[in-house]
C-alpha cells in the first residue's frame, strides 16, 4: 500500500511564523472560496481576514495563492490571494495557455469584482504581474494602485530560462523526496523547510504515490509554442503607458531576477513617475526570498485606510 502524505492547507502557518520570527498566537483567519466564472469554471482564492479586503495578490506562473502566506501574515491586513486559471485549486483557462495575461485578467476581474471590488491596490508577481497589467488596462476601476514584483513586459524566455527549465521539468515524480530534491536544486536561496511546505501546497499525490504539480495537470491544454518560453509580452508595454494609477516595481537584485536595467529604464521612460525599489537579497521570488521586506514595501506603497 502506498504511503499517503497528509495535507491540510491551513496547518502550516506556525511554520511560516517561526521561520521569519513573526508573532504567533494561533492560526490567522483564512478561508478558501471559489468564484463562479459563468461558463462552468471556477476561480479559487484565499480570503484573509474578516473585513473588506484592502489588497489583491496575484501569484506567478507555476505557483499558487499560498506563495503569499508569509507576506500576508506579516501584513496582517484583510486581502484576497487568487489562484490563477490552471493553478492551485482553480479550473483551467477557458481556452489556450495558462500563460496568457489577457485571458487570465478576464477571469481574475470576475473574482476581484466579487471578492474585493474596493481593494486599495493589486500586487502581481511575475505572470501575476503581467496579468495585473492587463487587468488594470481592462478594468482600471479595480486597480487603484499597481505593484509589480520582479517583472515588466520586457521579460523573455532567455531572461527567465532558469525558471522555465524548472517548470518544464518532469511531468510527475515517483516520490516526494524526488520532487523535493529537484525543487531544492533550482531554489538555492530558500530553506528546505519552506520548499517542502511549498510543494505540499503546489503539488498533489496520485493514488499510485507519485506527485504532480497542480499546474502541470493542464499542460495538455496548450501547445508548446503557447508556453512562457515562446510568449512575447511586449504588447503589454502600451498598457503600462495607459495606466494612470500609482505604479511601483519591486525588483530583486540577485541572479534569479528576470528584470534587467534596460527593462527598468523602459518602465521609467513610459512612466517617469513610477517608483522602483531594489531588494538586494531577493531573486525573482521576493515573496519567498524576502517576504518581510516585500510586506513593508506593500504597506508603504498601498497605505492602510
- pLDDT tens, residue order, the chain (305 aa): 467 888 999 999 999 999 999 999 999 999 999 999 999 999 999 999 999 999 999 999 999 999 999 999 999 999 999 999 999 999 999 877 788 999 999 999 999 999 999 999 999 999 999 999 999 999 999 999 999 999 999 998 888 888 888 988 888 999 999 999 999 999 888 889 999 999 999 999 999 999 999 987 765 444 333 344 456 798 999 999 999 999 999 999 998 899 999 999 999 999 999 999 999 999 999 999 999 999 999 999 999 99
Give the C-alpha separation, 132 to 102, whole Å. 9
Please, what is the Cα angle at 192 between 88 and 44, to 5 degrees?
Answer: 10
Confirm if 170 and 254 have CB atoms less than 8 A apart: no
The verdict on residue 20 lying in a domain is yes
* Cα–Cα distance list, 265 to 16, 135, 160, 202, 294 (Å): 35, 23, 19, 34, 22
Residue with cell 537579497: 281
The verdict on residue 67 lying in a domain is yes
- Catalytic, 175? Answer no
The verdict on residue 133 lying in a domain is yes
| Residue-number span of the structural domain to which 113 is assigned | 13-301
The verdict on residue 1 lying in a domain is no
- Catalytic, 14? Answer no
The active-site residue out of 44, 78, 90, 126 is 126
The active-site residue out of 69, 150, 263, 289 is 150
The active-site residue out of 59, 100, 284, 285 is 284
Specify the 3-state DSSP secondary structure of 42: strand
Find the CATH number of the domain harbouring 262.
Answer: 3.40.50.1820
- Catalytic, 150? Answer yes
Amino acid at each position: 500500500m502506498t504511503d499517503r502524505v497528509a495535507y491540510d492547507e491551513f496547518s502550516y502557518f506556525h511554520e511560516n511564523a517561526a521561520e521569519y520570527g513573526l508573532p504567533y498566537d494561533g492560526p490567522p483567519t483564512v478561508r478558501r472560496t471559489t468564484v463562479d466564472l459563468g461558463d462552468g469554471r471556477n476561480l479559487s482564492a484565499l480570503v484573509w481576514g474578516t473585513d473588506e479586503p484592502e489588497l489583491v495578490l496575484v501569484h506567478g506562473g507555476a505557483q499558487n495563492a499560498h506563495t503569499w502566506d508569509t507576506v500576508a501574515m506579516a501584513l496582517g491586513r484583510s486581502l484576497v490571494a487568487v489562484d490563477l486559471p490552471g493553478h492551485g485549486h482553480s479550473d483551467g483557462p477557458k481556452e489556450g495557455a495558462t500563460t496568457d495575461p489577457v485571458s487570465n485578467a478576464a477571469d481574475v476581474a470576475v473574482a476581484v469584482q466579487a471578492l474585493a471590488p474596493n481593494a486599495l491596490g493589486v500586487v502581481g508577481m511575475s505572470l501575476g504581474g503581467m496579468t495585473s497589467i492587463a487587468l488594470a488596462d481592462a478594468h482600471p476601476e479595480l486597480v487603484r494602485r499597481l505593484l509589480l514584483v520582479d517583472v515588466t513586459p520586457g521579460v523573455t524566455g532567455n531572461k527567465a530560462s532558469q525558471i522555465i527549465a524548472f517548470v518544464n521539468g518532469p511531468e510527475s515524480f515517483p516520490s516526494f523526496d524526488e520532487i523535493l530534491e529537484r525543487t531544492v536544486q533550482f531554489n538555492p536561496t530558500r530553506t528546505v523547510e519552506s520548499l517542502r511546505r511549498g510543494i505540499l501546497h503546489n503539488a498533489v499525490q496520485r493514488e499510485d504515490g507519485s506527485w504532480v504539480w497542480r499546474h502541470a495537470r493542464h499542460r495538455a491544454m496548450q501547445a508548446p509554442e503557447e508556453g512562457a518560453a515562446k510568449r512575447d509580452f511586449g504588447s503589454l508595454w502600451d498598457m503600462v503607458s495607459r495606466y494612470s494609477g500609482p505604479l511601483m516595481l519591486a525588483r530583486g537584485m540577485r541572479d534569479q531576477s528576470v528584470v534587467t536595467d534596460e527593462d527598468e529604464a523602459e518602465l521609467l521612460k513610459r512612466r517617469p513617475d513610477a517608483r522602483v525599489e531594489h531588494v538586494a537579497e531577493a531573486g525573482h521570488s521576493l515573496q519567498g526570498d524576502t517576504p518581510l521586506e516585500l510586506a513593508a514595501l506593500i504597506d508603504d506603497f498601498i497605505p492602510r485606510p
